[in-house]
Amino acid sequence: MKKPLIGVLGGMGPLATVDFLNKLIEETPAETDQEHVPVVVWSVPQIPDRQKALDGSGESPLPALYEGIDRLIGAGATRIAIACNTAHFWFDALSAHSTVPLLHIAEAAVARLKMNVSPPASVGLLATRGTLASGIYQARLAQEGFDCLSNTGEEIDILFKPGCYSVKRGEVAAGGYLFERAAGALATRGAARLILACTEVPIALERIRSRYLPICIDTNRALAAACVDYWRAAAR
């Protein structure tokens, strides 16, 4: 049997990948190097912009995502985690393409949400238009009996999207203040919990020590925890 090995499809962006790897370490109970989760990481950011592809202004990232999956499997990955919410728009195509199972970030996040709060609480989604359009969170939340809130198109355009590109430029705190405004809008409308459904968001809110962190579900951390669960079960 092949040794269990997590493949991380990253680079979207590079900082979110590093944040994911850091949380993978934090979520692993380990005393020595050897007890940590083995990973192979494909962090090749030369992949068409996901938000632009979904709003029709850029080419599809799908061929580049397929290549990443192929390289990870070639290197021996037995499970693949995609450290980007927006890329989950293409999850079904990637799953069909891959010969090893993919872990789903929304499934991991909703599992973590349920440890924190019970339905019928209102849950706010901090996400790109692409992630919202894909419905990966709304369907799972509705199924569990949660109400779902998201930012208006205007809030996304003037707060959320510029926040993402700030983080990608390395202006992490500036991104954090924009995300915090978007988070505040959802909290004001009654969200009891906020799902940070874009991997750039937790990095930026942590940087500014946002007041909303205590009610946030970090999807990057939830995906990391799902990887640890897989590995601990498989390595036994």
Active-site positions read 84, 198
Q: Which of 72/182 has CB closer to a copy of itself?
A: 72
| 147-150 and 39-43 beta bridge pairing | unpaired
Interacting residues with a copy of itself between 157 and 216 (CB under 8 A): 165, 168-170
99 lies in the site for a copy of itself, by CB under 8 A: no
Q: How far is the CB of 19 from a copy of itself (least distance, A)?
A: 9
34 lies in the site for a copy of itself, by CB under 8 A: yes
Q: What are the backbone dihedrals phi and psi of residue 34, each rounded to the nearest 5 degrees, phi first?
A: -65, -20
Q: Which of 120/170 has CB closer to a copy of itself?
A: 170
Half-sphere exposure of residue 84: CA atoms within 13 angstroms, side-chain side: 28
- Are the CB atoms for 7 and 77 separated by under 8 Å? yes
Query: How far apart (Å, rounded) are the C-alpha atoms in residues 116 and 125?
Result: 15
> Which stretches of 44-199 are assigned E, i.e. beta strand?
79-82, 102-103, 122-126, 147-150, 193-196
75 lies in the site for a copy of itself, by CB under 8 A: yes
Residues contacting a copy of itself: total by CB under 8 A: 40
Interface residues toward a copy of itself, by CB under 8 A: 5, 11-15, 17-18, 21-22, 24-25, 30-47, 49, 71-72, 74-76, 165, 168-170
